[in-house]
Structure 1
Amino acid sequence: MCKDEVVPNSVVYTSMIDGQFKKGSLENAFKYLSKMRDQGIRLDVPAYGTILSGLCNRGKLDSAIEIKEDMVRNGLAPDQFIFNTLMNAHFKNGNLKVALNEYKELLNRGFEHDVVTLTTLMDGLCKQRHLYEARGHFNKEMANDILYTVLIDGMCKNGDLSQVEMVFGEMLKAGFIPDKYMYTSWIAGLCKQGNLVEAFRLKNKMIQEGTIPDLLTYSSLIFGLVGKGLMIEAKHIFHDMLKRGITPDYAVYDIMIRGYTKQGDANAISCLHNEMKNIELLIQESVASVRS
C-alpha cells in the first residue's frame, strides 16, 4: 500500500479495523485506530459503529460506552445501528434499565422502529423474562420470520404456551415458514410442561413438512421422557437420533445416565459410558485428520 503511495482513507481503515475485530485481535484493531488518528483522519459514524460493535462482540461493553461518549464529544450523533448494538449488549449483560434507556434515546432522536430494533428489543425483554412488555411491542405489519421466532421462543421459554399455537397460525397465514429452531423452541417448552403427547405430535409434523430435527430437538424430547421415567421410550428416541446421524453430546448422555441411575440399571449405564468413550475417540480422530 505504501509502495504504491496510496494513502488509506476512513473507509479503508474502518475495513481493516473491522477485519481485526473479526479475527479477535483487539490489539491490532486499536493499532489501526491509532494510525488513523495519527494521520489526522477523522472518525465518521460508520467507523465509530464498527469499533463499538467489535468491542460489544468481544464483551468489552465499558469500552464500547466510552467510544459512544467520544463520538458525541466530537460532535457526531449515534445512528440506529449504534443504538441497536448497545441495546443488545446491555440486554445480554442483564442491564435491563440501561438497555431501555438506549431504546428511549433512539426514539427521542427521531429514529423509527425497524425490524432490527424491534427484534433486539423483544429478544432482550423475553430473555429478561419481561414477556408481557415484549408482546406489547410486537408489530404484525412489520413482523418477519425472525420476529415471529423471537416471540414464540420467548413465550415457550417463559412457560406461556397458551397462545403459541395462535401466533404460529398467524405466522403461517402471513406466509412465513417455520424453521427447526422455532419448532424446537415449542417442543422444548411442551416437554418442560410434561406435555409429551403434543411435543411428539409437533415433532412428527415437523418431519412431515420437511424440517429435520436436530440435537436440541432430540435432547428436549429425551429430557421430557426421562423426567417421566419413560426410559424405554427415551432409549428409542436416543437410537432414532443415532440413525439420523446426529451425535449425542455429553448433556444427552448425562440425561440418559441420570434416568438409568434412578432405575438402578447398571448395565445400561455401563453401555452408555462405553459409547461416550468411543464418541470421544472418534471426535479426536476427526480433529486430527482435519489438522493433518
Structure 2
Amino acid sequence: MENRGMSPSKVTYTIVIDALVRSDDMERAFHVFSSMEKAGLVLDVYTYGVLIHGLCMKGNMIEASKLLHSMSDSHLEPSDVIFNIMIHGCCKEGSSYRALRLLKDMRKKGMVPNVASYSSTIGVLCNDGKWEEAEILLKEMTDSDSKPSVSLYNIISRVKNDTPVKLST
C-alpha cells in the first residue's frame, strides 16, 4: 500500500491489528500498533480495545492493565466495552479484588456493567467463599436494572450454606 504512495488509515491499521490478535500473534499486533503511532495517526478506544481483548484472552492481565492505564497518555477514556473485557479477564484469572475495583471504577465514570460482568464477578466471589460481597453485588446489579439469572441466586445460596461450588468463568 505504501509502495503505491498510499498511507493506511486508522481503520486499516485497526483491522490488521484485529486480524493479528485473532490469529494469536500479539507480538506483530503490537508492532503494527507501534507503526500506527509512528505514522502520526491518532489512536482510538477501539484500537486499544482490540489489543486489551487479545491480552485478556491470553491471560496476560498485567500487560492488559498497563495498556488500559496508558490510554490516559493518549487522552482516551476506556469505554464500557473495555471495562467489561478487563473485568472478564480478572474473573478468568480468579481475581475478585481486581474485578470489583474495575466495577467500582466503571460505575464512578457513569457506566453500567453488563450482566456478564456482574455474573462473572459474582461467580469468582462465590469461588472465593465471599458470599456476603456476592450478595451486595447482586443487589447493586438489580438496583441498576440488570436482570440476574436464577442460577446466580442459587450459586450464592449454595455458597452461603457452605455447599462447595466450583464455577467456571
**TM bucket, shorter chain:** 0.7 to 0.9
Higher relative contact order (CA 8 A, sep 6+): 2
Q: Matched residues in 2 for 1:158 and 1:20: separation?
A: 43
Q: Deviations over 1:68-114 (max 9, x none)?
A: 11111222111111111111211222221221111111111122x25
Q: Which runs of 5+ in 2 are unaligned?
A: 165-169
Select the structure of larger CA radius of gyration. Answer: 1
Equivalent residue for 2:151?
Answer: 152
CA contact (8 A) 2:13 2:32 kept: yes
Q: Matched residues in 2 for 1:38 and 1:7: separation?
A: 12
Is 1:32 aligned with 2:29? Answer: no
Equivalent residue for 2:167?
Answer: none
CA contact (8 A) 1:122 1:138 kept: no
Distance change (3 Å), C-alpha of 1:154 and 1:27? farther
Distance change (3 Å), C-alpha of 1:2 and 1:74? closer
Give how far 1:56 is off: 0.7
Count, aligned residues: 157
CA contact (8 A) 1:45 1:78 kept: yes
* Alignment partner of 1:119 out of 116, 119, 138: 116
Equivalent residue for 1:14?
Answer: 14
* Alignment partner of 2:138 out of 135, 139, 142: 135
SS in 1 for 2:2: coil
Is 1:79 aligned with 2:76? Answer: no
Q: Deviations over 1:165-217 (max 9, x none)?
A: xxxxxxxxxxxxxxxxxxxxxxxx9xx9xxxxxxxxxxxxxxxxxxxxxxxxx
Equivalent residue for 1:104?
Answer: 104
Q: Matched residues in 2 for 1:6 and 1:36: separation?
A: 14
CA contact (8 A) 1:122 1:134 kept: no
Q: Matched residues in 2 for 1:157 and 1:133: separation?
A: 11
Distance change (3 Å), C-alpha of 1:101 and 1:157? closer
Q: Matched residues in 2 for 1:104 and 1:153: separation?
A: 20
Is 1:68 aligned with 2:65? Answer: no
Give how far 1:134 is off: 4.4
Q: Deviations over 1:244-292 (max 9, x none)?
A: xxxxxxxxxxxxxxxxxxxxxxxxxxxxxxxxxxxxxxxxxxxxxxxxx
Q: Deviations over 1:33-79 (max 9, x none)?
A: 12112211121111111111111111111111111111112221111
After TM superposition, what 4+ stretches of structure 1 lie above 6 angstroms from structure 2?
none
Superposed counterparts of 1:252-291, under 5 Å: none
TM-score by length of 1: 0.47
Distance change (3 Å), C-alpha of 1:110 and 1:135? closer
Superposed counterparts of 1:158-197, under 5 Å: 159=158
Match of 1:136, as an amino acid?
A: K
Give how far 1:123 is off: 2.2
CA contact (8 A) 1:122 1:137 kept: no
Is 1:94 aligned with 2:97? Answer: no
Give how far 1:126 is off: 2.0
The RMSD of aligned alpha carbons is 2.9
Give how far 1:152 is off: 0.9
Distance change (3 Å), C-alpha of 1:48 and 1:136? same
TM-score by length of 2: 0.78
SS in 2 for 1:6: coil
CA contact (8 A) 1:92 1:124 kept: no
Give how far 1:122 is off: 2.3
CA contact (8 A) 1:127 1:154 kept: no
Distance change (3 Å), C-alpha of 1:122 and 1:137? farther
Q: Matched residues in 1 for 2:24 and 2:156: separation?
A: 32
